[in-house]
Structure 1
């Protein structure tokens, strides 16, 4: 059972992380209002991947811990879960709120030039993306090297 759960856990990580890594790449390519609108619509559709993958990742990680109870005494395991919860908050709550705000700003913008308010909101989202990606990198390091 453990090996099958581990397989699902790794698959969920790939699903969640692929979307997380792509967020800043997609958004940094938007240079006009119409491109930004398209990029935000794409992100809204892709938002299911980190939510689904992240939830499955958390559940399988906890299930692995319950199968191997000694994991709950390991610092790397507990830290991984704690850091991962931060990542989930960012990608399930903060990033979608930023996307809604940016979309509203773009709908109110005549022309194709990106407004300054949008750029500021996008910078906040980019910082959150960076924090989440660094946190994900740390979680991966913890899981691989188990210090």
Structure 2
């Protein structure tokens, strides 16, 4: 059972993390209002991937811990769960709220120039994405090297 859970855990990580890593890449390419609207609509459609993959990742990680109870005594395991919860809050709650706000700002915009209010909101989202990606990198390091 452990090996099957580990397999689902790894597939969930790939699903969640691939989407997370792509967010800044997609958004950094938007230079006009039309491009930003398209990029945000794309992110809105792919937002299910970090939510679904992340939830499944957390559940399988906890299930692995219940199968191997000694993991709950390991600092790397506990830190991974705490850091991952931060990532989940960012990508399941904060970033989707930012996407909705940015889309609303762009809907009110006439022309192709990106408004300053959008740029400020986008900067906030970009910082959240950087924090989440850095946290994901730390979690991966913790899981691979198990210090």
Aligned length: 147
What pairs with 1:26-105 in structure 2 (closer than 5 Å)? 26-105=26-105
TM-score of the superposed pair, with normalisation by structure 1: 1.00
Query: By how many angstroms is 1:45 displaced?
Result: 0.3
Alpha-carbon deviation of 1:77?
0.2
Mapped partners of 1:40, 1:122: distance in 2: 10
Please report how far the alpha carbon of residue 97 of structure 1 lies from its aligned counterpart in structure 2 after TM superposition. 0.5
| Distance in 1 separating the partners of 2:48 and 2:89 | 14
Aligned partner of 1:7 in structure 2 is 7
CA separation in 1, counterparts of 2:91 and 2:5? 24
Stretches of 4+ aligned residues off by more than 3 angstroms: none
Which ranges of structure 2 fall in alignment gaps of 5 or more residues? none
1:95 deviation in Å?
A: 0.1
Cα RMSD, aligned residues only = 0.3
Q: Scaled by the length of structure 2, what TM-score is found? A: 1.00
> Is it true that 1:132 corresponds to 2:132 in the alignment?
yes
Secondary structure of the equivalent of 1:30?
coil
Alignment of 1:19-30 (within 5 A): 19-30=19-30
Deviation of the 1:135 alpha carbon: 0.1
Deviation at 1:44, TM superposition (A): 0.3
Q: For the residues of structure 1 that align with 2:107 and 2:8, how far apart are their CA atoms? A: 40
Structure 1 residue 75, shift from structure 2 partner: 0.1
Give 1:35 deviation, angstroms: 0.3
Shift of 1:5: 0.3
Distance (Å, rounded) in 2 between the aligned partners of 1:109 and 1:18: 31
The DSSP-based 3-state class of the residue aligned with 2:93 is helix
